[in-house]
Amino acid sequence: MAVSVTHPRLSTAAHHTPHRLREDRNGEDSTRIHARGRALRHRGLLATADGGGGRQRAPAPRAALVGTASLCCAGSGSGRGGGEMTRDRVWPWVACSAAGPALFGTFYTATHHLPASPVWTSVYRVVPAAVALLVWRPVLPAGPWWRRSLILGGLNFAAFFALQTLAAHRLPGGIVAIVIACQSMLVPVLAVALLAERVRLSQVVAAGIGVVGVALLVEGAAGGLDWVGLATAAGAACAAATGFTLTKRWGLPPGVSPVTATGWQLFGGAALLVLAAFLVEGTPPGLDAAGVLAVAWVSLGATALAFSLLFTGLHKLPSAAGVSVLALTAPLAAALLGWAAGERLSGLQWVGMAVIAGAVVAGQRAQRGRASTQDVAGAAHGVTSVRGATR
């Protein structure tokens, strides 16, 4: 009788061949993920697999690690950090955020059609915008968001618009633009204090260079300085920077879009402005046909749409300090609109515009850097999550 003898090693190899083939197919990806995880652990950014520096157990099969890490990287995050954002998703949100301040710049082309009352002008700008967003997304705040909407609306809209308009009546427009542009240097300080954000020196330098560019853009606009006007312009910058940072800190309630939350802020700001307008300036001034058209654009385009775009990008992007530099596109857009309307710009003003554009781009390099770090952290988190699940 013929006896068939199978070598144990051959049997084991044959039994595990499909698994080894799966490992070979995914070996390159899994090796790269493990290398990223080791690099993060070495830098102290990632805990060990067992969460406390103890003995690590055997890793799960590489194919499972690759699949799970891919799912973790693809998942969308929420909260102050903007979630795990891939590098190719940064620039669309940067463009979205930059479009908001660019729309702000169109406000200056319509100011001569608006009444001279600073508070009522702000009311005409904010109330229609609040109504439009609340009608489009009819969701009311709940719980602490009533109080937060009132605070954010008071800072971002009521205080900022009223103080900005009052400063524009006491100072040349160029001086107001320079002072308010300084908010991009205040936000990094507040981001460190309120968001625990790691602000890069390049972001602060980019903001400072942008302010210099605004000063070049509005050359010859110094005129006589009024200390009350300077104080109100500085107050507008502080209010905008504080409201901007708190908007990032408090984030969004579950299931609420940035557009809806912007409508809540506009509603809170409108309530405060209407009360202040009646107390300070009395009855509202009338509007002619051109004034009605100007109010329609300023409220819907330069306020509702503009702030919806800006705050959407603020909630999506990881760095609030980087987004604040995009506010410098407002004077840039205003200057370009004036040039398109026939105004002559000097060579120094064109240099200022180039400096602003360079500062805006340089200020977003941190967004790319933080997104890349989050990509690596997401992949490594996928590896450690699978290891913990296989114990």
pLDDT tens per residue, range 164-193: 888 877 877 777 888 888 898 999 999 999
Q: Is residue 65 part of a domain?
A: no
Q: Please write the tens of the pLDDT for every residue from 71-129.
A: 333 333 344 444 445 556 788 888 888 899 889 888 877 777 888 888 999 999 999 99
pLDDT at 32: 52
Name the token pair of 165.
């308009």
Q: Is residue 166 part of a domain?
A: yes
Q: Is residue 121 part of a domain?
A: yes
Q: Please write the tens of the pLDDT for every residue from 23-57.
A: 444 444 455 555 555 554 444 433 333 444 444 44
Q: Is residue 158 part of a domain?
A: yes
Nearest to 309 by CA among 107, 103, 110: 103
Instruction: Tell me how far CA of residue 182 lies from CA of 70, 208, 210, in angstroms.
Output: 42, 8, 9
CB 181 within 8 A of CB 360: no
Q: Is residue 60 part of a domain?
A: no
CB 261 within 8 A of CB 316: no
Show the domain range for 225: 87-373
Query: Is the pTM of the predicted complex or chain greater than 0.85?
Result: no
Domain count, the chain: 1
Q: Please write the tens of the pLDDT for every residue from 341-375.
A: 888 888 888 999 999 999 988 888 766 555 444 44
**First and final C-alpha spacing in the chain:** 48
Q: Is residue 266 part of a domain?
A: yes
Query: For residue 143, what is the DSSP state?
Result: T
For the chain, where are the alpha helices, taking DSSP H only? 8-15, 17-42, 62-74, 90-104, 118-136, 145-153, 160-170, 173-181, 183-195, 201-217, 227-250, 258-281, 289-299, 306-316, 320-325, 329-340, 347-363, 365-389
Q: Is residue 127 part of a domain?
A: yes
Q: Is residue 9 part of a domain?
A: no
Report d(CA 289, CA 110) in Å as an integer: 13
For 236-269, give one letter per residue: b (16+ CB within 10 A) or e: bbbbbbbbbbbbbbbbbbeebebbbbbbbbbbbb
Confidence of residue 310 (pLDDT cuts 50, 70, 90): very high
Q: If DSSP codes are grouped into helix, strand and coil, which group holds residue 350?
A: helix
